[in-house]
Amino acid sequence: MQQMHMRSMPARFADSFIVTLTGWIALKVPVYDFEAVTTNPAIFTIASVVAGLLAYITFPVMDLYRSWRGSPFSSLLLRTTLAWLIVCTTVVAGLFFLLGGAFISRRWVVSWLIYGISSLWLFRGAINYLLKTARRRGYNAKKVILIGYGPLGKLVHRRTLLYPDVGFQVQYVMDEKEEIINETGGPARIREVAEIERIVRSGAIDEIWFTLALSEKNNMREIMSRLRNELIKIRWLPDLFSLQILDHKLEEFMGVPAVHLNASPSPGVHGLLKQSFDRTFAAAALACLSPVFLIISIAIKVTSPGPIFFRQPRQGKGGREFMIYKFRTMKVHEEKGAVTQARRGDSRITKVGAVLRKTSLDELPQFINVLLGDMSVVGPRPHAVEHNRIYSERIEGYMLRHLVKPGITGWAQINGWRGETDTLEKMERRVECDIFYIKNWSFLMDIKIIWRTAFRGWTDQNAY
């Protein structure tokens, strides 16, 4: 957690000076030197000065000078980059219209782009480092009243203790029910709203943070009403821990703000990567493993009468049913009513099937499902439809697993929750892992799961 806060006017002058100076340096010390400047160098000096003035006007519009305390430092760098590109592009476009493209030095433009963004980043990095150092020593800290001390309130308080360089100190906590984290010089408890008013008016507090559950909105409304005339920063950190939320993105819906409570995370660029990767990986796996498929197919056919593949309806993304493919590992039998999971020493499992199950080779035909688009390489494992019906009534949030495509392997499998789920607790742990995956999913996370599966996830003591 990194942050940065700069006084507006000195920072604006500094940025303006950096933009102008780097333009002049790019003219004198270019990054490369194979192109001669065909225009009077004074033109580019003047352009650098104009860019500095433009930066003084433009950078505040990009919100660079607000308090970035508690916000990701990378977000500030991204905004700085965008602001710099706007200024640079505007100046170069102006030169193009005034001089024509043939008279613009590409050497100067490229050098200026590199020197400019590097210097602006270094400047912000230096200020950020100095502020963090000062805050670690107790300077420049914002004093806070924390209203609400449930799971979210405790988490926020712990983070202020773990990251003192952010520069927040919880001085007071208002919550009758919860115990306050014990530590030397810890926050005092507030019991009455009138105490909040008195503390705020004394000037001893810089901010108020609400971490109340949604059910306590009336308490928040009362406090806000009492403080309506006080010029103090108030933040509301919605307590979403009490809800099973997969995507808390705020968006405008019919002119009002709306939050998705059970929508799958927006795929974006990572989603396109995942789709492309799934199809490519599945096609490559089927091609490379074709000799293994042939050997396993012969072994199944020779040792046990019946089909090579086991097909069974499963529910995929959005609850849509599809037929899953596996190598058959059991003797041909008929399930009457309920679907019975394989157990240790199960007499239905063939000798070849036992090996396939132990090594997870029986799952290989599911690359066909991935190629067909029914499954992904990584995702929650698809359960039998009958099991979905049973566990959806017993485990809260169970069906949220179907907001994404099911996978051949997943977060639950590499964390030891594969194989038989003979107790409700085992299935709950698996579902917890699946929902954690959906909440925190990224393409890089998929690669990590595939890597761990390849080297450690094919065999397991719970697989039989």
pLDDT at 49: 92
Distance between CA 51 and CA 133 in Å, rounded? Answer: 33
CA-to-CA dists, residue 256 to 224, 250, 251, 252, angstroms: 21, 10, 8, 5
pLDDT at 242: 60
Instruction: Kindly report the pTM of this predicted structure.
Output: 0.53
Residue ranges in 251-394 assigned as alpha helix (H): 268-288, 290-303, 351-359, 366-372, 385-394
Q: Between vectors from CA 68 to CA 53 and to CA 10, what angle results, nearest 5°?
A: 35
- List the end-to-end C-alpha distance of the chain, in Å, as a whole number: 45
| pLDDT by 10s per residue, the chain, length 464 | 344 444 578 889 999 999 999 999 988 887 766 555 555 778 888 889 999 999 998 898 888 888 788 788 888 899 899 999 999 999 988 888 877 765 677 888 889 999 999 999 999 999 999 988 988 888 888 999 998 888 888 888 988 888 888 889 899 998 877 677 665 467 888 888 888 888 988 888 889 998 887 667 777 888 888 887 777 888 888 766 665 556 666 666 666 767 666 666 656 666 778 888 999 999 999 999 999 999 999 999 888 888 999 999 999 988 889 999 999 988 876 665 555 665 666 678 888 888 888 888 888 999 999 999 999 999 999 988 888 888 888 888 888 888 889 999 999 888 887 766 668 888 888 999 998 898 888 888 899 999 888 876 555 555 54
Q: Are 171 and 188 in contact (CB under 8 A)?
A: yes
Return the amino acid letter for 289.
L
Distance between CA 211 and CA 147 in Å, rounded? Answer: 6
What is the DSSP secondary structure assignment for residue 341, as one 8-state letter?
Answer: P
pLDDT at 253: 65
Q: Is the dihedral of CA 445, 449, 452, 455 positive or negative?
A: negative
Q: Are 187 and 154 in contact (CB under 8 A)?
A: no
Locate the domains of the chain by residue range. 8-136, 142-242, 268-456
Q: Are 55 and 87 in contact (CB under 8 A)?
A: yes
Specify the 3-state DSSP secondary structure of 315. Answer: strand
Token pair in block for residue 462 = 């719970």
Token pair in block for residue 145 = 């009243």
Return the amino acid letter for 437.
Y
Q: What is the CA radius of gyration of the chain?
A: 30
Distance between CA 317 and CA 159 in Å, rounded? Answer: 36
Q: Which CATH superfamily is domain 142-242 in?
A: NAD(P)-binding Rossmann-like Domain (3.40.50.720)
Q: Between vectors from CA 347 to CA 388 and to CA 392, what angle results, nearest 5°?
A: 10
Return the amino acid letter for 132.
K
Distance between CA 403 and CA 293 in Å, rounded? Answer: 31
